[in-house]
Amino acid sequence: ALLKNPAILIFDEATSALDSKTEKAIQAQIELAASGRTALVIAHRLSTVMNADEIIVLDQGCIVERGRHGALLARAGAYAQMWMLQQQEEGEQAAD
């Protein structure tokens, strides 16, 4: 797909089944591939989208929040709650 040099890239849960080290390596490659293009990244693992220009948070198919990572955390809404939960889970897994 990248050989055709598309203007838009879509990644659907591209890192969902990976450990965090592999996720970071894949994410770096995705960022390189997406440079100068529009990339739509669908993810439940929020670390995958934290550097996005815009994050859109859906709940049951409806947009409940949108913005950049820092702004969404500052709002202390749905995104911030999911972020904190995922960070706690990652910390627990690292401790095991």
pLDDT for position 83 = 96
Fill in the amino acid letter for 45.
R
Tens digit of pLDDT per residue, the chain (96 long)? 566 788 898 888 776 777 778 878 878 887 887 888 898 989 888 988 998 999 999 999 999 999 999 999 999 999 999 999 999 987 766 665
Is 14 in contact with 34 (CB distance < 8 Å)?
Answer: no
**0.75 exceeded by pTM:** yes
Q: How many residues does the chain have?
A: 96
79 and 89 share one domain:
yes
Q: Name residue, tokens 């894949």.
A: 26
Count of domains forming the chain: 2
Q: Name residue, tokens 């739509």.
A: 40
29 and 60 share one domain:
no
Q: Print the domain residue range for 46.
A: 1-53
Q: Which helix (H) or strand (E) holds 11?
A: strand 8-12
CA distance 55 to 50: 8
8 and 48 share one domain:
yes
pLDDT for position 2 = 61
14 and 41 share one domain:
yes
Per-residue model confidence as pLDDT tens digits over 52-61: 999 999 999 9
46 and 78 share one domain:
no
48 and 64 share one domain:
no
